[in-house]
Amino acid sequence: MVEYSSSTTNRQIGCTGVGALSKSPVVYYVGWKMFFPYDNYQASINCSQFGLLKIFTTTTINANNYAYYLGRGDSYLNYLKSSSNFVVIGRNSTYINYMTTFPNINLVVLSSDFQEFISSPETLFINNRPVTYSNKAFNDVYVITQNLAFLTYMSLFTDIYCAVLIPQNTDIVNGYDTLPLIASTTPKNTLTITTSNSQDWSDFTPTANPIVSSVASSATNTPGNSLLASASDQSLVFTMKAGYSSVTSTATTAGTAITNNWGMMIMMNPAITQSVAAPLAITESAATLLTPSVTTVSSPSSYNPYTLITLRGSNSTALQTSFLVAAAKKSFGIYPFIVTPFSSIYSDANNMDIMISTVDGIDGPQNKMTFNGYFLINSFSQTATSAGTIQLGYVNYQSSAAMDGSKVPTLLRVRGTITNNATTLSSLVIFFDALTPFFSNLYTG
């Protein structure tokens, strides 16, 4: 993925190596994540063109064309030799120089062989190998657009080989049609994302109790170890150090009425849904005066699916159970909810990040609402059963004393086997918390 700068206020992100798209009913998502320090101001972000998608008609190498395959490694060369569709010219620098005289030529190269050229500022027509190819190891070919420049670049190497594809139809794109644009989307975005300095409601001292977790229990505000992926009813537990003044501008005097009510809006993935097994309830450290409600929009045809939990309070006293005047770490739980999928580390349909905002006058007209605090939680779901066969440890080549990560070089070693759901897992993600003394500068602190 490459981000391209622009002379205008818009920026472009270009993705290379994207294969053919499938037609309906497959749904594709364009997503992105941005991170801002809570104490650093960021101007509003123009999103009016975000998600603009242009679809071009393309032309492919067909039975009327020859295609010349260039590469360096023996494994790719041997594969071409094994196919009756290719005539292998071999490592012949004279013939490659002769190709510079061709008026038109389709040059197909293995991108992993020519990383230097692919990083140059040229437009590339990316295409995966046809699905009929038996050897999936060679799936990153692309067609050169600046033929003469590339053939000149070939003079840097002495191990270049060439093979000719006998004319036949392929799905390898070699250009755009004369009338290229056939479709352009019209984004239905909000015009801007109004950024604001968010609140720092985290409290990692002590490191126990994550900001958001779920507990397979009836209504509780006792934190768990993580957000758990489970089809059973759970309490969502939020543990934050959110001071009263960071969530409302209402006076702290007990019983002070809040015009049109105070609200905390907690927006999350629609895969986190309220269970119908029991009425919605909130549990705090003392008798609660807050009223919860939940809305889930999950239809595939809906615009912006989401789950929104809203907590409402009518006066200052209702807030001061979980949001103390002298900020302290407090927990509240909302029950019952079901968390169905595993979370994703990407901006896709399984992203479990949670956005919280607080507002005075939540039930009044929009021009009377006052937003006070914003807080983003990067949330990840896990299984309730730990991977007991996985072990972590430090490895260091210099120290014989107990290792804490302060010696260089220190490696983190992960060893063991995965027995639970092993066939459904594709990656192992490691999260760090309280990294001291990792990444600390021992000279300046």
399-432 per-position pLDDT tens digit: 677 666 666 677 788 888 777 666 767 777 777 6
Please report the pLDDT score of residue 20 as a whole number: 60
Distant-in-sequence, close-in-space partners of 254: CB < 8 Å, separation ≥ 6: 316, 317, 320
Under the banding of pLDDT at 50, 70 and 90, the label for residue 257 is: very high
Please report the pLDDT score of residue 267 as a whole number: 94
The yes-or-no verdict on residue 359 having pLDDT over 90 is yes
Please report the pLDDT score of residue 443 as a whole number: 46
Two structure tokens written together for 212? 């958001």
Under the banding of pLDDT at 50, 70 and 90, the label for residue 6 is: very low
394/410 Cα distance (integer angstroms): 7
384 backbone φψ class: left, alpha, beta (φ>0; ψ -120 to 50): alpha
143/228 Cα distance (integer angstroms): 46
Under the banding of pLDDT at 50, 70 and 90, the label for residue 243 is: very high
Contact 107, 124 (CB under 8 A): no
Fold for domain 212-382? Immunoglobulin-like (2.60.40)
Averaged pLDDT for residues 212-233: 88
Percent of the chain clearing pLDDT 90 (strictly above) = 27
Please report the pLDDT score of residue 445 as a whole number: 41
The yes-or-no verdict on residue 288 having pLDDT over 80 is yes
Q: How many CA atoms lie within 13 A of 226 on its CB side?
A: 15
Please report the pLDDT score of residue 150 as a whole number: 87
Least confident of 251-255, 301-305, 410-414: 301-305
Place of tokens 């229990």: 217
Comparing 52 with 416, the larger pLDDT belongs to 416
Contact 311, 294 (CB under 8 A): no
Percent of the chain clearing pLDDT 70 (strictly above) = 71
The yes-or-no verdict on residue 178 having pLDDT over 80 is no
Comparing 18 with 306, the larger pLDDT belongs to 306
Spatial strand order in the sheet of 291-297: 291-297, 306-315, 257-268, 354-360, 370-377
Please report the pLDDT score of residue 291 as a whole number: 95
Averaged pLDDT for residues 180-201: 68
89/68 Cα distance (integer angstroms): 10
Every domain of the chain and the residues it spans: 60-180, 212-382, 387-445
Comparing 5 with 214, the larger pLDDT belongs to 214
Least confident of 2-16, 254-268, 394-408: 2-16
Report residue 18: phi and psi, to 5°.
-85, 130
Enter the pTM of the model. 0.64
The yes-or-no verdict on residue 365 having pLDDT over 80 is yes
Contact 24, 186 (CB under 8 A): no
10/51 Cα distance (integer angstroms): 12
pLDDT tens column, 134-152: 555 565 677 887 888 888 8
Please report the pLDDT score of residue 332 as a whole number: 95
Least confident of 11-20, 110-119, 159-168, 291-300: 11-20
The yes-or-no verdict on residue 188 having pLDDT over 50 is yes
Report residue 367: phi and psi, to 5°.
-75, -5
The yes-or-no verdict on residue 208 having pLDDT over 50 is yes
Max avg pLDDT among 37-51, 220-234, 251-265, 368-382: 251-265
β 2-4/12-14 pair status: antiparallel
Place of tokens 């027995």: 419
Distant-in-sequence, close-in-space partners of 34: CB < 8 Å, separation ≥ 6: 45
150/97 Cα distance (integer angstroms): 11
